[in-house]
Amino acid sequence: MKYILLLIIYLLISNFATYSKETYTAIKDDINIRLDSTPFSEVIGKLKKDDIVEAIEEKYDWYKIKLPKDFNCYVKSEFVKKIDKNKAEVIASVLNLRSSPSMESFIIGKVKKGNILHIIEEGEGWIKVKGYPYARGWIHKQFLKKIEEKEFVESGRIVQVSQPVCNTNYLFKSKQTYPIVISLLKCAKFLDRNVKIVAKKRSGACSYLVLQKLQFLPKK
């Protein structure tokens, strides 16, 4: 009996052990993102086929993900301070991100004092903001495919070059956006060039390139 109890405890702990963050892609359209790790939980959004998400926690057959960059949420305007037209700084110790502009709506994330939020639009008492990288949701494993390192080898076009900050450097391919780093502003001569990526380093949802590993393709 003692050994059975120990085994049960071990299995419970293993299910909630520290999860190594991995990147996944959605295998179909209209995948439900749920508030909790159960098929009966409320749907708070959808994934489209080929959307890329970062899983930050695993519970049984579910992954907790950072909601995609196009996912928006709401905060009470009294708890933020606008620092320019499109940005606001959190002034509360902890501020809830909600699924709609109502105190009865679902809490889908939290931000801390000093965090910067990107404003989408302002309303009466509420501000609509981008949820990434603070908003969270759950997706069943069957709808996600792990992206292996070798799958990051692809072609695209450099459309922006700036200082190496993941959220402001992009390589466009089809309708997807892949964050990249081109190291320095002096590399602006590579703007609008078609490239083939032969190697990448990944940190969370960001894929980092180094200039020496870019292969230029013929201009079209």
Q: How far apart, in whole angstroms, are the C-alpha atoms of residue 145 and residue 23? A: 9
Please report which confidence band the pLDDT of residue 202 belongs to, taking 50, 70 and 90 as the band edges: low
pLDDT score for 164: 47
pLDDT in tens, 45-90: 999 988 888 899 999 999 999 998 889 999 999 999 999 889 999 9
Give the list of residues 6+ apart from residue 132 with CB closer than 8 angstroms, or none.
66, 67, 68, 69, 71
105 φψ region: left (φ > 0), alpha (ψ -120 to 50), beta (else): beta
Element (H, E) at 10: helix 2-15
Structural domains present in the chain: 2-68+139-145 (2.30.30.40), 72-131 (2.30.30), 149-216 (2.40.50)
pLDDT above 80 (res 140): yes
Instruction: Output 142 or 205, whichever has higher pLDDT.
Output: 142
pTM over 0.75: no
Q: Which two tokens stand for residue 204?
A: 């969370």
Are the CB atoms for 209 and 161 separated by under 8 Å? no
Reported as a single tens digit per residue, the pLDDT across 122-139 is: 999 999 999 998 999 999
Cα of first residue to Cα of last residue in the chain, in angstroms, is 72
Higher pLDDT, 176 or 49: 49
Rounded (5°) CA angle 50-51-52? 110
Predicted confidence at residue 51, as pLDDT, reads 85
pLDDT above 70 as % of the chain = 58
Confidence bin at 146 (pLDDT 50/70/90): confident
Whether 216 shows a pLDDT value over 70: the answer reads no
Q: In the β-sheet with 176-179, what is the strand arrangement from edge to edge?
A: 176-179, 170-173, 155-158, 194-197, 214-216
